[in-house]
Structure 1
Amino acid sequence: MMARGEAALLGPAQVRELAERFGVRPTKQLGQNFVHDANTVRRIVTAAEVGRADTVLEVGPGLGSLTLALLDVVDAVVAVEIDPVLAGQLPETVRERAESLAGRLAVVPGDALRVRADMLPSVPTALVANLPYNVAVPVLLHLLAELPSIRTALVMVQAEVADRLAAPPGSRVYGVPSVKAGFFGTVTKAGSVGRQVFWPVPQVESGLVRVDRFAEPPWPVDEIHRKRVFEVIDLAFAQRRKTLRAALAGWAGSPAAAERRLLGAGIAPTARGETLDTAAFVRLAAQADAQSASS
């Protein structure tokens, strides 16, 4: 790994100066809270465990705090930025503060929720980002589905969302984000981040979540199969208080048909969605396919 220190990282004064220079006023609509603490961005990069061989996809680089820290240690950063002003200014900021590293950065203007593999100038191996909190889970799931080349993801999200993503089955906050993230790999919490390292200071605490994609997927991961599994997950949690026999009756055609599929997948019809792990939902979707093929 390359020694740190080539990039001049941003502090509170530099973040405010850049925002004023570019005429940027952080908006809640875009979920803009800019990190201004060098130790925090270094900690994120360390937790991501990325190195010179990696091409990192960064979402919402903003003024460039995390971008500069990433450029110190990886050969390429592809930054997706929805704000046209910030997207246009980021290369200049990098040239000013890390001229020798500027060639490692590529900026893709646009919405991360619409990113496709063919829109990127290079193939990312890792996702490292301070995700906009209002769309954090949809962005994470979309990128993991769209970019199978991403082997690891280290994202900063709202603390409550971090808890949900990494929650085990049966826990109070276990739900749709937990199960869907688990479709792609192992999900763990990687630390907490206080409010005071952001400008403006958010109303909530933040957390780091790491996803390590399965090296050998334990189930089919093609788009058609993933959508079928995710449909079952959504239906199971749409009515959390109901048993799966009742909650999935419409999907299966009747309560009796739902029971047959559940039993075929080794799941008690009286169970609730919050007690099942991702593997159980995969088996359930497979049962539906099998019964449809035999009918």
Structure 2
Amino acid sequence: MDSLKLTSPGVINKIVREYNFRFSKGLGQNFLADENILNKIINSAMLVPGDRVLEIGAGIGTLTREISSRAEKVVAVEIDKDLIPILEENLKGRENIQIINGDILKLNLRELEKIYFGGKPFKVIANLPYYITTPIIMTLLEEGLNLQLMVFTLQKEVAERLTASPGTKAYGALTVAVNYYCHCEIISTVSRNVFFPKPGVDSAIIRLKMRQTPPVEVTDPELFFDIIKTVFKYRRKTLLNALSKDSSIIGKKNRLESFLLSTGINPARRGETLSIEEFARISNGIKGCQLF
């Protein structure tokens, strides 16, 4: 079906009727129906011949087909088994595409990387379902994969969280965690009107470029991320009170207060105002003086 324009609402309707496909709200299914946005997504990934790409949520193959025209290899993961026959038909003859029916959060991603990409660097492109955006992003980052960059179309609100500054409402644990691994950049906002069916919110295209080294040196990454999670769990509390909620330092509040003051960080500040550098300073200092 290479001749079909998969961004055409008429073509999408025809495919849906022909296969008696039913959209699943639970899976957040919204198919892209705009050629300009399709090109923006693809161009954002800066694809060159030889690139290997993992696509998450292939849908009817709109992105998949375009990626395969520019990349060496595409592994398209789609959770909905009812879409597999549609994908196989729409992508027929494209020898550089591997379709996998599965849940990206349940797949062994290191094994997938080894089998399909030979352990070589790869890129990720996806129209992410709004309900599961954060788990997918964090899973990809925490697996230690050989990632180059990732381009996502996701809820505009989430994109704003990923690129937020300290002290703003959108700034949170996700902001700090993702920016530890990546440079984050919003490429473009995307109207809800370019999807079929139309979702209830607008979207954004965001590019995450993997860092060669983190922006801060952290002696104990697990402790670093634990502190971030604790602070934002109690984001309306002072830094001192939020950290004191951690069961491992209850009873050491005075010591913690003295430590924070010694690092030049006011214990009365709210954690949501801290930069990633300040989180690293706290983490490394607590590790060094064994407050935990």
Common fold: TM-score over 0.5: yes
Q: 1:269: which partner in 2?
A: 267
Q: 1:119: which partner in 2?
A: 112
**Which letter does structure 2 place at the counterpart of 1:255?**
K
Aligned-pair CA distance for 1:221: 8.2
Q: 1:104: which partner in 2?
A: 96
CA distance in 2, matches of 1:211, 1:7: 32
Q: 1:278: which partner in 2?
A: 276
Preserved contact between residue 218 and residue 224 of structure 2 (Cα < 8 Å): no
Preserved contact between residue 153 and residue 211 of structure 1 (Cα < 8 Å): yes
Listed as ranges, the matches of 1:121-200 within 5 Å are 121-122=116-117, 123=119, 125-200=122-197
Q: Does 1:236 align with 2:231?
A: yes
Preserved contact between residue 260 and residue 267 of structure 2 (Cα < 8 Å): yes
Q: 1:3: which partner in 2?
A: none
- Distance of aligned partners of 1:14 and 1:141 in 2 relative to their CA distance in 1, 3 Å threshold: same
Preserved contact between residue 7 and residue 69 of structure 1 (Cα < 8 Å): no
Q: Does 1:250 align with 2:245?
A: yes
CA distance in 2, matches of 1:200, 1:211: 27
Q: TM-score normalised to the size of structure 1?
A: 0.87
Q: Which moved more, 1:240-249 or 1:225-234?
A: 225-234
CA distance in 2, matches of 1:110, 1:20: 24
Provide the secondary structure at the position in 2 that maps to 1:191. Answer: strand
Aligned-pair CA distance for 1:91: 2.9
CA distance in 2, matches of 1:260, 1:56: 49
Q: Percentage identity across aligned positions?
A: 33
- Distance of aligned partners of 1:175 and 1:287 in 2 relative to their CA distance in 1, 3 Å threshold: same
| Cα deviation digits, residues 241-276 of structure 1 (max 9, x gap) | 111110001323332243345346553222212111
Q: 1:25: which partner in 2?
A: 22
Preserved contact between residue 195 and residue 205 of structure 1 (Cα < 8 Å): yes
- Distance of aligned partners of 1:181 and 1:155 in 2 relative to their CA distance in 1, 3 Å threshold: same
Preserved contact between residue 59 and residue 112 of structure 1 (Cα < 8 Å): yes
- Distance of aligned partners of 1:227 and 1:81 in 2 relative to their CA distance in 1, 3 Å threshold: farther
Provide the secondary structure at the position in 2 that maps to 1:151. Answer: strand
- Distance of aligned partners of 1:82 and 1:269 in 2 relative to their CA distance in 1, 3 Å threshold: same
**Which letter does structure 2 place at the counterpart of 1:117?**
R
**Which letter does structure 1 place at the counterpart of 2:237?**
K
- Distance of aligned partners of 1:62 and 1:257 in 2 relative to their CA distance in 1, 3 Å threshold: farther
- Distance of aligned partners of 1:106 and 1:266 in 2 relative to their CA distance in 1, 3 Å threshold: farther
**Which letter does structure 2 place at the counterpart of 1:92?**
E
Hey, which of these two has a bigger chunk of helix by percent? Answer: 1
CA distance in 1, matches of 2:72, 2:259: 49
Q: Does 1:84 align with 2:76?
A: no
Q: Which moved more, 1:104-113 or 1:195-204?
A: 104-113
CA distance in 1, matches of 2:20, 2:263: 56
Coordinate RMSD, CA, aligned: 2.3
Q: Does 1:57 align with 2:50?
A: no
| Cα deviation digits, residues 49-72 of structure 1 (max 9, x gap) | 122122111111111111112112
- What is the count of residue pairs matched by the alignment? 282
Q: Which moved more, 1:26-35 or 1:120-129?
A: 120-129
Aligned-pair CA distance for 1:78: 1.2
Q: TM-score normalised to the size of structure 2?
A: 0.88
CA distance in 2, matches of 1:14, 1:44: 20
Q: Does 1:39 align with 2:13?
A: no
Gaps of 5+ in 1: 1-5
Aligned-pair CA distance for 1:197: 1.1
Gaps of 5+ in 2: none
Aligned-pair CA distance for 1:129: 0.7
Preserved contact between residue 54 and residue 74 of structure 1 (Cα < 8 Å): yes
| Cα deviation digits, residues 85-116 of structure 1 (max 9, x gap) | 22354233111xxx3xx111112222222332
**Which letter does structure 1 place at the counterpart of 2:61?**
G
**Which letter does structure 2 place at the counterpart of 1:154?**
V
